[in-house]
Structure 1
């Protein structure tokens, strides 16, 4: 039985040492390169007694960053990634929370790190990556590591804007990667195109399956997502055939009509998640790539990534919602009603997850952990922790799960209980709208609709009046140049709410 994620790397370097593992188009690392650098970093950290502790990784998005992650795990420690994209106050809060003694930087980020309130030691990647490997020291640490030891702390803000450090262990990641690989049909012929930041758990979809199957992963430069045609040309150049992207990255391509000029010639698997895929945009992708597999993934960081999947193998009508499907193997996804019962088919309930995918809670925050990592209310007999996602869902008679809305997106307005997601779904159907988001202003008791696209606001209002009951029609409609997104590709509702509160709209 596999008990350590590094077994993926060790098997890969035995099987295909000289095959390309990770590249960003400039830096190219074979599996042998990845192994050598990871072992060197692990040796360095062990020599300096950074064992079984958090190690901050502050580097640009690069294949080298991945080896810093693996090197930290070799030292029996757990990596805590931060990035220049983060506001300085967020980085400070992360440092304050985990209190790391060590930080690994590249030469550029080291200059920023020197200005931080960091009391530990800053190590330059270029200096430590040439450390002579001490396999005896590596093995001595390895013998003490078990599968419930942590390997990373990834910070997520959720809807509150306050960072929470999710702690995940070897067992959770191994089970996740094994199931995800099976669902995506990953093989040695797979060429991933990574879109997500490396400081989020979303990148696990490419990092570890690449090792497990001796595949190849390209870290696509972020700037290309501003130029969809160049992005697709990059994908074609490197023969990328598998992507696991947030919905917003996919809709950028389809809504800006990039397919009129070029199509992803090698793309065979398109996995998506993080937000509801607007049906009209999904259908554009399906029409452009009729032979490709499209897989809707759903899951929270607190459950090690994705927990359910649905293969969208047909076109959808505009009034349909793409299901988020059924649970991964060895994962149970339950719908729990307000009276702590299992929801019946068609009945809504909170999506709750149990199994080895459930992580170890929030770092240094037992109060927050205990509010959502709770005893299974259906099990009164022994200790069993489940994770309450805060998402509302329902199941159809076939057992397919549908995302309805966030628990905190359900409002009471004009005497009616309203799901803001239903308003957004209807807005997203309107021709010319790229994406839409509803924010309820409790102070004024008004529903605000933000959208980006080419349609005039009066036309949006006209369509919504025809599609929705009067009490659900937004009071205020705000066209914006570009929908703000969080780092993990979700609509930044906290920012939109601040626009309302500050009187900027």
Structure 2
């Protein structure tokens, strides 16, 4: 029987010992790092971090592009018990500074010059880089293992927040290990598998890429942001690498099919194409199925960032296209999850009725980093368990359970949407709009124009002349690119509901019927 491991560092060390000469990371430029080499590089990086005062519980921020460095650094942090957080290069400095202020990192690793606006937010943190080579770092031959438990934080992942401030979900070592074991079982992963990493490292989907591969002896193929922008080149690179497992948001796959980058029977080595993070419209999904469905398993997955990336899976079949207007089911929850579907009174809904999906189990996160109020609202005691403590995560997603035993998504309880795979609180866009001088009223919305792609839209009223260019330029100082509305309307006043509040739905309707604009 394999000894149980309760930290990611222990698990990776065992995998590296078994698969030492096999490739762990392979890049498009030909760079390949074996498991043995990656384990040693992580040990060298851990030595450096320890020498700079980083220890258990300290946050390490990573401001890096895709290269060997961030993968080495993440594993080094996990050895030390120092939770890491990957930062988005494309986010405005103002937003990144607020994230850093919330994290209070002990160290920041970078491979580029740091924007000067971020320096005050670091408040004495050690800044490492750019320009150092991990292979030249000394190795501590007397390295003492850090005592950790499975509940120790492994990483922070920031998502949009309804108060206008991003939330930093905290995920434990035990949660990641449970997730990696589920992935190995669900996709029958072996050391012969080659997983793509087209997802940005600051994005939740990358958790599947990283840990499904490196904790199971498979090889991870990272693709940079530039490499994912050329559809045909990306498909050719995936084919040349012989990748066997793909995971991305549906928007990425729709981009590939729209650009006709995937020929019929293409991507022949892929045995599973996994997608999640947003709904995949059936007309678009059918295009992909017709191209590769005969040789590739297409899997729709669901899971909030707060519950370690994925909690359910559903394999798409030809029968799913008999109803072209619905989304594919969320499927069945992973074996290591339990769930409740609750009404507004915290009582289970009747069979087949719609309610809020609430998740329980070892992949449920630890809360939000240094954010007790929002943690207390989302991570709660199971209201049906009066016998012992049992943490439950309220997803805010409305679902129902069909007679076939499958969960289906029915909407949201709040104003959170998924756009290009990113979870966005519309109130965060509202807050950024209200921060623009002259704006009196503001509301963002999500409008799907009977197409595969939805549009972020926004309407404002102002006390002084404003144009779309000014709005867009101002928002670019506060929000990442994926949160900038595609379309704007500047009105005398925004539509209200019967209670005199701004009607978000009426704002959305204005973009479908612009002649109704006030």
What is the deviation of 1:344?
Answer: 2.6
| Equivalent pair of 1:372/1:389 in contact (CA under 8 Å) | yes
What is the deviation of 1:262?
Answer: 8.2
- 1:323-338 alignment to 2 at 5 Å? 323-338=329-344
Structure 1 segments unaligned to the other structure (5+ residues): 411-419, 444-485
Instruction: Supply the distance in 2 between the matched residues of 1:497 and 1:252 (Cα, whole angstroms).
Output: 17
Instruction: Supply the distance in 2 between the matched residues of 1:179 and 1:158 (Cα, whole angstroms).
Output: 29
Instruction: Supply the distance in 2 between the matched residues of 1:345 and 1:174 (Cα, whole angstroms).
Output: 33
What is the deviation of 1:409?
Answer: 4.9
Structure 2 segments unaligned to the other structure (5+ residues): 417-444, 462-478, 493-509, 512-518
Instruction: Supply the distance in 2 between the matched residues of 1:295 and 1:499 (Cα, whole angstroms).
Output: 35
| Equivalent pair of 1:232/1:262 in contact (CA under 8 Å) | no
Q: Which residue is 1:82 aligned to?
A: 87
Instruction: Supply the distance in 2 between the matched residues of 1:218 and 1:273 (Cα, whole angstroms).
Output: 19
Structure 1 residue 56 and structure 2 residue 61: aligned?
yes
Residues 413-464 of structure 1 deviation map (CA, whole Å, 9 limit, x = unaligned): xxxxxxx99x84xx54xxxx33135869799xxxxxxxxxxxxxxxxxxxxx
Q: Structure 1 residues 500, 37: CA separation in 2 closer, same or farther (over 3 Å shift)?
A: farther
Residues 476-496 of structure 1 deviation map (CA, whole Å, 9 limit, x = unaligned): xxxxxxxxxx98xxx95x533
Q: Which residue is 1:287 aligned to?
A: 290
Q: Structure 1 residues 180, 149: CA separation in 2 closer, same or farther (over 3 Å shift)?
A: same
| Equivalent pair of 1:272/1:297 in contact (CA under 8 Å) | yes
What is the deviation of 1:64?
Answer: 2.1
SS at match of 1:408: coil
Residues 30-81 of structure 1 deviation map (CA, whole Å, 9 limit, x = unaligned): 1122111100111122233310211111111223211101111212211121
Q: Which residue is 1:277 aligned to?
A: 280
| Equivalent pair of 1:24/1:221 in contact (CA under 8 Å) | no
Structure 1 residue 217 and structure 2 residue 235: aligned?
no
For the aligned residue pairs, the C-alpha RMSD in angstroms reads 2.8
Q: Which residue is 2:241 aligned to?
A: 238
Q: Which residue is 2:324 aligned to?
A: 318
Q: Which residue is 1:436 aligned to?
A: 454
Q: Which residue is 1:403 aligned to?
A: 409
What is the deviation of 1:335?
Answer: 1.1
Q: Structure 1 residues 146, 260: CA separation in 2 closer, same or farther (over 3 Å shift)?
A: closer
Structure 1 residue 499 and structure 2 residue 488: aligned?
yes
Q: Structure 1 residues 438, 401: CA separation in 2 closer, same or farther (over 3 Å shift)?
A: farther
Q: Structure 1 residues 239, 441: CA separation in 2 closer, same or farther (over 3 Å shift)?
A: same
Instruction: Supply the distance in 2 between the matched residues of 1:200 and 1:442 (Cα, whole angstroms).
Output: 30
Aligned residues: 439
| Equivalent pair of 1:233/1:262 in contact (CA under 8 Å) | no
Counterpart selection for 1:378 from 384, 394, 397:
384
Range 122-131 or range 165-174, more displaced: 122-131
Q: Structure 1 residues 145, 115: CA separation in 2 closer, same or farther (over 3 Å shift)?
A: closer
What is the deviation of 1:205?
Answer: 0.9
Residues 227-260 of structure 1 deviation map (CA, whole Å, 9 limit, x = unaligned): 2111111111111121111111111111232235
Instruction: Supply the distance in 1 between the matched residues of 2:374 and 2:390 (Cα, whole angstroms).
Output: 18
What is the deviation of 1:388?
Answer: 0.6
Instruction: Supply the distance in 1 between the matched residues of 2:163 and 2:268 (Cα, whole angstroms).
Output: 40
What is the deviation of 1:129?
Answer: 4.9
| Equivalent pair of 1:191/1:239 in contact (CA under 8 Å) | yes
Q: Which residue is 2:351 aligned to?
A: 345
SS at match of 1:222: coil
Q: Which residue is 1:201 aligned to?
A: 204
Instruction: Supply the distance in 1 between the matched residues of 2:126 and 2:457 (Cα, whole angstroms).
Output: 43
| Equivalent pair of 2:86/2:201 in contact (CA under 8 Å) | yes
Instruction: Supply the distance in 1 between the matched residues of 2:389 and 2:90 (Cα, whole angstroms).
Output: 40
Residues 174-226 of structure 1 deviation map (CA, whole Å, 9 limit, x = unaligned): 11111122112211121111111112232121212222322111111222333
SS at match of 1:382: coil
Q: Which residue is 1:465 aligned to?
A: none
Range 155-164 or range 195-204, more displaced: 155-164
- 1:185-200 alignment to 2 at 5 Å? 185-200=188-203
What is the deviation of 1:295?
Answer: 1.0
Instruction: Supply the distance in 2 between the matched residues of 1:100 and 1:128 (Cα, whole angstroms).
Output: 20
TM-score, normalised to structure 1, is 0.80
Instruction: Supply the distance in 2 between the matched residues of 1:436 and 1:112 (Cα, whole angstroms).
Output: 32
SS at match of 1:136: coil
Instruction: Supply the distance in 2 between the matched residues of 1:216 and 1:17 (Cα, whole angstroms).
Output: 12
Residues 289-326 of structure 1 deviation map (CA, whole Å, 9 limit, x = unaligned): 11211111101111111111111133413123210011
| Equivalent pair of 1:395/1:402 in contact (CA under 8 Å) | yes
Counterpart selection for 1:169 from 132, 155, 172:
172
Q: Structure 1 residues 138, 131: CA separation in 2 closer, same or farther (over 3 Å shift)?
A: farther
Instruction: Supply the distance in 1 between the matched residues of 2:458 and 2:209 (Cα, whole angstroms).
Output: 37
What is the deviation of 1:94?
Answer: 1.3
Q: Which residue is 1:366 aligned to?
A: 372
SS at match of 1:7: helix
Instruction: Supply the distance in 2 between the matched residues of 1:248 and 1:111 (Cα, whole angstroms).
Output: 31
Counterpart selection for 2:129 from 105, 124, 143:
124
